Amino acid sequence: MFHPRFFAEREPERLAYVMCDTGEAVTFAQLEARANQGANLFRERGLKTGDHIVIVMENRREFMELCFAADRAGLYYTTASTHLTVDEITYIITDCGAKLVVTSEKFPELVERLESALSSDIELYSVGAQKDALDWQEAVARQPVTPVSDECQGLDMLYSSGTTGRPKGIKWPLVVQDPGGHTMLLDLLTSLFGYDAHTRYLCPAPLYHAAPLRHTMVTIKMGGTCYIMGKFDAERALRIIEREQITHSQWVPTMFVRMLKLEREVRDRYDISSMVMAVHAAAPCPASVKHEMIKWWGPIVHEYYAGTENNGFTAITTSEWLEHEGSVGQAKLGILHICDEQGEEVPVGTEGEIFFENGHQFEYHNDPVKTAASKNARGWTSLGDIGRVDEEGYLYLTDRKSFVIISGGVNIYPQETENVLLDHPAVLDVAVIGVPNEDFGEEVKAVVQLTSGETPSAALCKTLMEYCSARLSPVKCPRSIDFRAELPRTATGKLFKRKLRDEYWPEATKA
C-alpha cells in the first residue's frame, strides 16, 4: 500500500518530511492525522469526490498536509504559483470551479482582493489569521483525526506556467479507487528513479510546480523522507545534501549553472557522496553544463523530458547521455513520433513536432479547442515541442514551436544560441528571442543576465557577439544584446519568453 497511513501505523515516528528553513519535522503519524483532519473539513464544507480546491502558498508545513488531505478525499487540487498576479489567480480559481481556496498570511493583498472578487459560495481560508479569510488552522483543529468514511483517490489538476500564453488547466480523468493504490505516476517515477522507503529526497523548488509536488508526494507515499527548501540557494543546497545525507534530488539547469559558478573552494567544501540519483528536467540543459555536473557529481545525473500533461515521458541515464550527447532519452511512457506540419511522420534524424502515441490521456479544462489542437488526426498528442530522434530512438529537443524565430523565411531555434552564450564565463542566464526587423520580419536578440562582478558595457556586448560568431552561423547570432539584472523565469527554470518577447512587440500585445 502506497499511503502515509501504512507507515503511520507501523513506524509512526518515521519522518515524512522536513521544512529546511524552519526545521519543522513532520512524522508519518502527524501527517496522517492532519491529512485526515483536512479531509474531514472538506466533507464538512460540502466538498465531494471530483470537486476542486486551490492552494496558493509558499513552501511550508501545511502545504503537504493540504495536498494529502485532498488526495484522500477524491478532490482535484490545484496548486497555483505565488508569483502570479491576483487577476491570474482569480482566473484559475474561477476556471477550475474551485469551491474552496487556501492561502497563507504571507499574502494579505491577495486575500483582500480575492475576498471581493470571488463569488460568495467559494470559501477562502488562510493559514495564519487574516481578517478577510477563515482561519484554516482553527477550522481543521476541530476535525477528527480519523479517515473520512468515503475515501477516494484524488488528483492534482495543475495549470501550465503560461510561458507561451494563458495558463491551461491540465486535467487527468479521475479514477474511482481507494487512495494508496498503484497509479501511473507512482509506478513510472519509482521504476525510473528508485524512490523507496530509504530515499532522502531534496526538493529545492516550489511545491506549486508539477515535478517538485509529484516527486515529493511519491517519495512520501513510498515511505521516504523529503527535505523541502523554502527557496533555492546554491551553497545552502550543498550544505543540506551533506548534513541530511540526501540520496535523491531534483534540479533544473539554471540551478546547475548557479552551483557550477560557485567558487571552487566553496563547491569542494561539501561532501555530496550520499547522493545516488540527481534528476533534472523542465528546460533543456546545455551540454557543457551537463558535462561539468557529471565531472563533479559522477554518473548519477539522470534526465527526463515530459510536460505537466504527462502525455509521454522520456528518460536517460548518465552513461546513455555520454553516448548520445544532448539527448533526453528514449520513450518510457507512450510511443514517440516526429511529424511535419501536415502531421505526417518524418524520417529518422529530421526535425519536427514531437508526438506521443498511447500516452497518458488528458484534456485542457474548459477548453475543447486547445484539447483538440493538441492531437493530430491519429489521436497522437503533442505539447508543441520540436525535436528529432536518432536510429536508436533517442530524442533530441530543438525548441518549442512557439519560440522559433523566422528571419527572412529561415527558421532559427533560440536554444542553440542560448547554449553558446551560457558557455561564456560572463553569462549567468540568457534568453534569445525574435524582435521586429523591417526587412526580414524578425531578427535575433539576446537578453543577458551577467555573473556577479561583471558590468554591462558596449565592449562586453561586442565580446559576446564575437563569441557567438566564432561558434555559430551568422543567421543564428544575435544582432543585438540587452542586459538585465534578472530574467523572468519560473522557479522551475522555464523562461517567461512570452512576457519578455511582448516587450519588444508592443503592437502585437494590443491585438
Helices (H), 382-472: 414-422, 458-469
Per-residue pLDDT, 510: 40
d(CA 39, CA 158): 20
Query: What is the share, in percent, of the chain residues with pLDDT greater than 70?
Result: 95
Q: What is the pLDDT of residues 373-429, one digit of tens each?
A: 999 999 999 988 889 999 999 999 886 766 778 786 677 878 889 989 999 999 999
pLDDT over 70 (residue 491): no
Which amino acid belongs to residue 99?
K
d(CA 204, CA 82): 16
Give the rounded distance of the alpha carbon of 230 from its chain centre: 15
Q: What is the pLDDT of residues 203-256, one digit of tens each?
A: 999 999 999 999 999 999 999 999 999 999 999 999 999 999 999 999 988 899
Nearest CA to 109 among 135, 90, 137? Answer: 90
The residues, ordered by sequence, that sit 6+ positions from 56 with a Cβ below 8 Å of its Cβ are 79, 80, 82, 89, 101, 102, 103, 104, 107, 110, 208
Burial of 361 (0-12, 13-18, 19+ CB in 10 A): middle
Q: What is the pLDDT of residues 68-116, one digit of tens each?
A: 999 999 999 999 999 888 888 999 999 999 999 999 999 999 999 998 8
pTM recorded for the entire structure: 0.84
Enumerate domains of the chain plus CATH numbers.
Answer: 4-218 (3.40.50.12780), 404-510 (3.30.300.30)
pLDDT over 70 (residue 180): yes
The residues, ordered by sequence, that sit 6+ positions from 15 with a Cβ below 8 Å of its Cβ are 25, 26, 27, 28, 225
What are the cell numbers at 282? 523542465
